[in-house]
Amino acid sequence: MKAAIIGGTGYGSIELVRLINKHPYLEIGSVVSNSQAGVNFSDVYPHLSDVVVQPLETFNANRLSEENDIVFLATPSGVSSKLVPQLLEKRIKCIDLSGDFRLRSSEEYENWYKHSSPEEMYLKQAVYGLSEIYKEEIRQSTLIANPGCYPTATNLGLLPILKSKLADEKSIIIDAKSGVSGAGRGLSLTSHYSEINENTKAYKLGKHQHIPEIEQVLSDESGNPITVTFTTHLVPMTRGIMCTMYVNLKEKISTQKIIDLYKQFYQESHFIRVRPEGNIPATKEVMGSNFCDIGLHVDERTNRLTVISVIDNLVKGAAGQAIQNANLMNGWDDQTGLTDLPIYP
């Protein structure tokens, strides 16, 4: 099956190329970058020399639908919303990594993303692609809104305790830290070497566009409207996300019982690894893989649960989950092409 990639020069795209290249049922088709059309892909990314040799293309819905079977969109927000309708008209499956179709409310989208919303019909058509939670819906869909990196780590870490009804839903605090690749490949003062090296920054306090995405999923799955306190930090590493989450418990319960609850919740989810008591995951332990590792601890003094959730932001937080969703859409085992062990050290 030929897979096209739109937005071909970003980190998400290059991770898609790496994963598709080893996938038994997918091969790299068109790679679209309007800004660098005509340039050989390996000139932009020399590590692909003699591996991906075709030139980058401009967007053309007719040609893409004729030459490809599925499209991954790894564009900035506000771009894919204009391209996806053209592709769906050609009956080609789309997986959007940009964020344009994650929120069901056009008003919420415009409030948080600060530009025009996609058409309402496409917001309603899109299935939110949190692979472990919405498998059946993904299998039936032709448009997947691939989750953001922070929401993936956060929601996978919080959903078991929220659905158990043991959590005080008004007490959720999320402390999230990401490597610099999460800011993209574009040049900015934020990711400038001398600004981020030996430095840790909090950013977008109360304004991060992933806040409504997290709250939408938590509210849907708990059955109650949920708001969270969510603070993001940029740390001086390339890959990885660690979300440390705090939630008050309604009753006394041991760490081991919480671990048992999580293991049961994720017993059929290969990519979710719940650590034993006293074993706390680190970002390097999932680097380059599609795993989400979760560590848990109940503070008996405060009766507060701490959840540590770690992912590789470019794999489980982007391209890896997109491939997992493509597997589900096509009736393949969701682990197909995603069996790499983490890179360590």
Q: What is the dihedral of CA 94, 95, 100, 105, to 10 degrees?
A: 80
The CB density around residue 244, as the number of other CB atoms within 10 Å, is 17
Omega before 345 cis (within 30°)? yes
Q: Which residue has the tokens 């509210």?
A: 219
Nearest to 273, CA basis, from 263, 258, 260, 287: 263
Structure tokens at 225: 């409207």
Residue type, 60: N
- DSSP-based three-state secondary structure for 225: coil
Listing DSSP states for 240-307 in one string gives -EEEEEEEEBSS---HHHHHHHHHHHTTT-TTEEEPPTT----GGGGTTSS-EEEEEEEETTTTEEEE
Q: What is the dihedral of CA 199, 204, 209, 213, to 10 degrees?
A: 80
Listing DSSP states for 161-210 in one string gives HHHTT-B-GGG-EEEEEE-GGGG-SS--TTT-HHHHTT--EEESTTT-TH
Q: Tell me if residue 149 is catalytic.
A: yes
What pLDDT does residue 181 have? 93
What pLDDT does residue 189 have? 85
- Cα separation, 46 vs 69, whole angstroms: 27
**Catalytic: which of 94, 149, 243, 292?**
149
Domain boundaries, the chain: 2-125, 150-313
Helices 320-329, 11-21: inter-axial angle, 10-degree rounding: 50
Query: Which residues of the chain are under the pLDDT cut of 70?
Result: none
What pLDDT does residue 53 have? 85
What pLDDT does residue 52 have? 86
Assigned CATH class of 2-125: alpha beta
User: Given this chain, do its domains 2-125 and 150-313 carry the same CATH topology?
Assistant: no
| Residues facing 242 on adjacent strands | 177, 310
- Cα separation, 184 vs 4, whole angstroms: 20
What pLDDT does residue 236 have? 96
Distances (CA, A) of 72 to 92, 262, 326: 11, 31, 9
State the pairing for strand pair 304-311/241-248: antiparallel
- Cα separation, 165 vs 149, whole angstroms: 25
pLDDT digits (tens, 9 = 90+) for 267-317: 999 999 999 999 999 999 999 999 999 999 999 999 999 999 999 999 999
* CATH architecture classification, 150-313: 2-Layer Sandwich (3.30)
> How many CA atoms within 13 Å lie on the side-chain side of 142?
12
Query: Please, are residues 73 and 83 in contact by the beta-carbon 8 Å criterion?
Result: yes
